[in-house]
Structure 1
Amino acid sequence: MDIIVVLFNRDLRTHDHPALAAACENARQVVPLFVLDPALPTGHREGFLAECLADLRRSLRGLGGELVIRRGDTVTETVRLARMLSARAVYTALDVSALARSRQRRLAAECDRNRTEFRGFPGVTIVAPDALRPSGGGDHYRVFTPYWRAWSAHPRRELSKVPGTVSVPELDAGSPPEPGHRPSALFEGGETAARERMRRWLKHGVADYADGHDDLAGNRTSRLSPYLHFGCLSPLELETGAAGGGDFVRQLCWRDFFHQVTAAFPRINRDDYRPRGHEWRADSGAAQAWKEGMTGVPIVDAGMRQLLAENWMHNRARMIVSSFLVRRLHVDWRVGADHFFELLLDADVANNYGNWQWMAGTGNNTRPNQTVNHLRQARRFDPDGDYVRRYVPELGSMPARTIHEPWRSPVAVAGYPRPLVSMD
């Protein structure tokens, strides 16, 4: 019996899945596997993940296959299944976080101990995190612009085809997780929904991205990030489809950039990438007000309330709210980054913590003391106050000229606080 186990992690799709495609070429039978591991920090993403797994199971069944689901330690359950089936190999997509790399090392060692082949494949990023090296030496790029140049010129692998059939042996497939509460009605989990959203974005949205992506009130961003995080979409397929959409492709490059930084510095979610000697304030009250969207600064509060309501936030708003926490409240970036990681559907380690360190001045920013003028950002990217009105309804009756500065109004707004810090 010739069997390969394909361990799914952040690659919950059948299109452009190198590990799945290779397994179907190299073995008579293939067992797609996902392990619900309690060590995996899922935050508010459980419901979305359940939808992704249900959709993946339907897709694999449509190919004649099955998604096997197990619960427990990922390495233990994968090796147990491989041994039970006398599988000759375990294939999986390689990832970069400290948790993922530890799991990959353990799995490789256990496979070797059981005389089972272990192979890692690309697919989480467009360009593999270890594929590019600075010409002047070093194990990774620390600055984005030279990385962007090297990344843009680097050859791409071919997209993997969806297998014609996936043949599985008879075994207990296991029960999927309960869908439970969906964090946001804006996002339906799974490859099917992801591909439809990608199709619409490439047809109607990407050409306008450069002009519209900073419009806070407009729906002019792709909102594909949750699907990229869970691998419901291939980032390479998305880049291929967006050819010519330079500003959007540049954002995909930023995603790869932080993955290669994290591969070289796996403690990016805990330690300063570039220590600056910051002395952060331990102000739990200010941090809680920020989390609840009650700082008294409408553009900040709108962003934080969007996060609470949708488990997603506009990218420009992310920059504004993170800058406010670390630059104006002087609260440790880890407080904000951990809050984002708990709530965001798209919160992977590399991008979430890489971007937070960028804003805190401890990361890859070449201007570590850069500050954001929050009122100027509000007037520029929400000129009519529509974004603020959407998420801070108590300010809805204020005119556009004062909605971003309610503290200047002679009439206090009932229930809305004064700013935590002076905004003059």
Structure 2
Amino acid sequence: MAHTIVLFTQDLRLHDHPALHAASREGETVLPVFVLDPALLRRSARNRVRALLDILNDLRDGLRSLGGDLVVRHGDTVTEVAALARETGADTVHVTEGVTRTATNRAERLREAGLRVVSHPGLTVVPPGDVTPASGDHYKVFTPYLRAWEAHPWRSVLPEPDEVRSPEGVDPGKIPARLDEGRGSLAERPLAMGETAARQRLCSWLDSGLAHYADRHDDLPAGATSHLSADLRFGCLSPLEAAVLARDEPGGAEFVRQLAWRDFHHQVTAAFPDMGIRDYRPRDTRWRDDPAALKAWKEGRTGVPIVDAGMRQLLREGFMHNRTRMITAAFLTRTLGVHWRAGAEHFADHLLDGDVANNNGNWQWVAGTGNDTRPNRAFNPLRQARRFDPEGVYVRRYVPELAELPGRAAHTPWDSLLGPDDYPPPIASPGS
């Protein structure tokens, strides 16, 4: 009997899963596998490690309802998959293709172990490399990429399998109740995670949030974004399915544009896998080594309310509104002059939706070393605050020292007439 392995990575779902779909057609039985790799867990945020366990339990429940199971192992991914292949006689591994060095190296090592590796789309709407400019291997500017992305035909969304038959006699392994690996602090209120919860969020978003997205996605007090970023990061949702369901609905065009941005950063990272350690476009910037300023920024104690609110939201929730991600990143890199890598690492250590391509791509964009065509653009945090949090509601929500300040005064507490004693003066002038 032929057995085929499906290695789950950042595609922890059953709906629209090309690798699982292909394996189900190719092999008489399918062995769905996830490996808890200590090398990866140690580098991950504790928020993501905690969420992963709930996601795996949900995925196992879903596979069991289809007649299969999720085999969970703990160790080096390639070593564990190769051992399962020897145990079951499988010679083929189906996997969703990633864009990071980790994904590329994993696939190469699986081949070196004598396994046939079949890669599939599923991480993005349009796979990296499917649209390329005539002059190079990837798009370096978003607008022309968007035009090509919109013109490119999308593959069909695949349904959940009717059945997954797994081989008998294979120990499925236990999903631990907790793992101690990971970096950063834990959010106070964890988000329910897994494909079941993700699809519920998607349905709610399409029904009651999407129509207002174009007008309200930068409204900081409302928080009127989809809150699907973590679901997309873990692959609990298919970005293609989300795009297909949203594109023809009111508000859908702007939301789908954000999915195109996500795809854009993935195709850049696929072509430039050093995105997290090297400047995409070197600017010879002289970065400052300022541990005290970096610490104040990380703790949300800079004395600039909109910056501190964003940083405290990150620590409290493992999430930050996209607008304040840009504001806080600009303050660290442009106002304080601290290297973008320090900020990207802090975000990666705490964000539930922390993703290599999007996190580093956005940080480099803000810092002027990435894909922004205006690397010296002004990004004044006070003007941003007055525009997107005009009454200081967002600031007062996350900075309790300022909770009693009236309205717009929450944006200028360093004024001696307004500043409370327990809130610090600004560590740098944010402009006016």
Q: TM-score normalised to the size of structure 2? A: 0.95
Aligned to 1:42: 44
Counterpart code for 1:139: D
**C-alpha distance in 1, partners of 2:187/2:6?**
29
| C-alpha deviation, 1:411, in angstroms | 4.7
Counterparts of 1:12-411 in structure 2, within 5 Å, are 12-40=12-40, 41-44=43-46, 45-110=48-113, 113=114, 116-135=115-134, 137-170=135-168, 171-179=170-178, 183-185=187-189, 187-244=191-248, 245-411=252-418
Describe the SS at the equivalent of 2:334.
helix
Root-mean-square deviation over aligned CA pairs: 1.2
Tell me if the contact between 2:202 and 2:242 (Cα under 8 Å) persists in the aligned partners: yes
**C-alpha distance in 1, partners of 2:128/2:430?**
41
Listed as ranges, the gaps of 5+ residues in structure 2 are 181-185
Counterpart code for 1:216: L
Counterpart code for 1:388: V
Aligned length: 419
**C-alpha distance in 2, partners of 1:88/1:297?**
57
| C-alpha deviation, 1:169, in angstroms | 1.4
| C-alpha deviation, 1:210, in angstroms | 0.5
| C-alpha deviation, 1:186, in angstroms | 5.3
Q: 1:184 to 1:225 in 2, by over 3 A?
A: farther
| C-alpha deviation, 1:414, in angstroms | 2.1
**C-alpha distance in 1, partners of 2:30/2:418?**
68
CA offsets 1:150-178 (integer angstroms, 9 cap, x no match)? 00010111112211111111210011032
Tell me if the contact between 1:48 and 1:179 (Cα under 8 Å) persists in the aligned partners: no
Q: 1:180 to 1:83 in 2, by over 3 A?
A: closer
Tell me if the contact between 2:409 and 2:418 (Cα under 8 Å) persists in the aligned partners: no
Counterpart code for 1:269: G
**C-alpha distance in 2, partners of 1:163/1:412?**
59
Q: TM-score normalised to the size of structure 1? A: 0.97
Deviates more, 1:358-367 or 1:18-27: 18-27
| C-alpha deviation, 1:409, in angstroms | 3.9
Tell me if the contact between 2:58 and 2:194 (Cα under 8 Å) persists in the aligned partners: yes
**C-alpha distance in 2, partners of 1:65/1:270?**
40
| C-alpha deviation, 1:423, in angstroms | 3.4
Tell me if the contact between 2:412 and 2:418 (Cα under 8 Å) persists in the aligned partners: no
Identical-residue share of aligned pairs (%): 55
Q: 1:354 to 1:192 in 2, by over 3 A?
A: same
Listed as ranges, the gaps of 5+ residues in structure 1 are none
**C-alpha distance in 1, partners of 2:164/2:414?**
62
**C-alpha distance in 2, partners of 1:265/1:366?**
18
Tell me if the contact between 1:214 and 1:381 (Cα under 8 Å) persists in the aligned partners: yes
Tell me if the contact between 1:51 and 1:179 (Cα under 8 Å) persists in the aligned partners: no
CA offsets 1:219-241 (integer angstroms, 9 cap, x no match)? 31000000000000000000001
| C-alpha deviation, 1:99, in angstroms | 1.3
Aligned to 2:183: none
Aligned to 1:5: 5
| C-alpha deviation, 1:179, in angstroms | 4.3
**C-alpha distance in 2, partners of 1:257/1:298?**
32
Deviates more, 1:123-132 or 1:179-188: 179-188
| C-alpha deviation, 1:412, in angstroms | 3.6
**C-alpha distance in 2, partners of 1:331/1:130?**
33
**C-alpha distance in 2, partners of 1:241/1:290?**
39
Counterpart code for 2:76: D
**C-alpha distance in 1, partners of 2:225/2:192?**
17
Show structure 1 runs of 4+ deviating over 6 A: none
CA offsets 1:170-199 (integer angstroms, 9 cap, x no match)? 210011032469745351110000000000
CA offsets 1:352-406 (integer angstroms, 9 cap, x no match)? 0000000000000000011211111111101111101110011011111311010
Counterpart code for 1:60: L
Counterpart code for 2:240: L
Describe the SS at the equivalent of 2:209.
helix
**C-alpha distance in 2, partners of 1:324/1:281?**
13
**C-alpha distance in 2, partners of 1:80/1:50?**
23
**C-alpha distance in 2, partners of 1:65/1:125?**
26
Counterpart code for 2:241: E
